[in-house]
Amino acid sequence: MGTLLGFDYGPRKIGIAVGQTVTRTASPVATLRAVKEQPDWSGISHLIDLWRPEALVVGLPLNMDDSEAEPAPMARRFAHRLEGRYGLPVFLADERLTSREALARLRGKPKKTSDIDSVAAKLILETWLSEQS
């Protein structure tokens, strides 16, 4: 498939990562803050123009029992809005424990909360990539 962008959606900020299907790896790119309680569509458009992804992956919040967590409908809505705005395929990926893992990976390094979101997006994208055959 090629290049993908991964999103760790939150109502106040969205972590974003870029990845490749060839290497099945991803890298943190940015964290965008909401603008008037809406995703920063201008910032997202800029990143899509810059990276020219072939598909997008959005983290889906799940509970440990596989049920959808409370924020899941918001993540699904964001995924549908991405698909409608950009006409790209959008996939959902399990994001369980990604923020906790991101925090653990940043332990001992200077960090901002934005670092946690973009690293979580990297983990979401790598999870999805590892599940593809």
**Residue predicted with more confidence, 117 or 46:** 46
Contact, 3 vs 19, CB < 8 A? yes
Amino acid in position 100? R
Q: Provide the pLDDT for residue 97.
A: 62
Give the angle subtended at the CA of 107 by the CAs of 104 and 108, to the nearest 5°: 165
Chain segment 28-42, per-residue pLDDT in tens: 999 999 888 899 999
Joined tokens for residue 77 = 């809505």
- pLDDT higher than 70, residue 130: yes
Specify the pLDDT at position 96. Answer: 72
Judged against a pLDDT cut of 60, whether residue 113 lies above it is answered with no
- Please tell me the number of Cα atoms within 13 Å of 101 on its side-chain side: 13
Domains of the chain and any CATH numbers: 3-131 (3.30.420.140)
